[in-house]
Amino acid sequence: MTFKLNPYYSPEEFGLEIVGEVIWDDDPYQFDFSVVWEHKETGEYYTARDSGCSCPTPFESFNSLEDLEGPFSAPSVVVVRLYEIFEDNWQDADEKSRARFAITEIAERLLRTA
């Protein structure tokens, strides 16, 4: 089995830096989260969501920038996208609170650098 580079585990190989992530569901033996990246050369933003059981590697099918959502030039677009996902999720109260907090942290970080 060959390990393929992906933007989550090797963001620098894509010219990216992770700004933050939002965990939508933290049940055992699975993953469901979104990540926000900033492209270091262009300053544009990308986001993606991945989920699955514990067998696959998160974002293993994301092998290029074209596999991500974006590019977005305005940080506010990324924050709106995260809130759209937030509204579509059915987390319990604790998960919803953690997700809201994570989105707020990402928004503050993005708006500080804008």
pLDDT in tens, 67-86: 999 999 888 888 888 888 88
- The reported pLDDT for the residue numbered 1 is 43
**Phi first, then psi: what are they for 101, rounded to 5°?**
-65, -45
Domain membership of residue 6 (yes or no) is no
Domain membership of residue 82 (yes or no) is yes
- The structural domain count of the chain equals 1
- The reported pLDDT for the residue numbered 54 is 84
CA–CA dist 25, 95 (Å, integer): 7
Domain membership of residue 5 (yes or no) is no
Give the predicted TM-score (pTM) of the model.
0.86
Domain membership of residue 75 (yes or no) is yes
SS3 state at 58: coil
Domain membership of residue 2 (yes or no) is no
- The reported pLDDT for the residue numbered 97 is 87
